[in-house]
Amino acid sequence: MDRETVKRIVDEARAEEANLVVWDRRDTFTVEPKAEISAEDEYLKVRMEDGKATVYVEYDCIYKLVVEKDRAGGRSGARAGFSAASS
């Protein structure tokens, strides 16, 4: 996935105050709105809310990003997903 696409999705998640779900080659994790997220030159950098952990995910390893919006009622919210096509 390219940097500009990742940056656009991160900005959308921030604007919506939504979770960002990241799928990479090794794992899937959810980034809460309070976390610090930055689209660096070569990787996505996520500093968790408590500051005890920082996650670096190379753009080439990301194959799907989802902006997860919460709904009332405690159920999972609507998801707008963005996938990378590999050739």
CA dihedral of residues 75, 16, 19, 45 (deg, nearest 10) = 180
> Could you give the number of structural domains in the chain?
1
Q: Name the pTM for this structure.
A: 0.75
pLDDT, one tens digit per residue, over 1-26 is: 899 999 999 999 999 999 999 999 88
Domain containing 13 equals 3-83
Contacts of 61 (CB under 8 A, 6+ apart): 24, 25, 26
CATH number at residue 15: 2.30.30.100
Confidence of residue 70 (pLDDT cuts 50, 70, 90): confident
Predicted local distance difference test score (pLDDT) of residue 3:
93
Confidence of residue 42 (pLDDT cuts 50, 70, 90): very high
How confident is the model over 19-41, as a mean pLDDT?
A: 91
Cβ atoms of 35 and 48 within 8 Å: the answer is yes
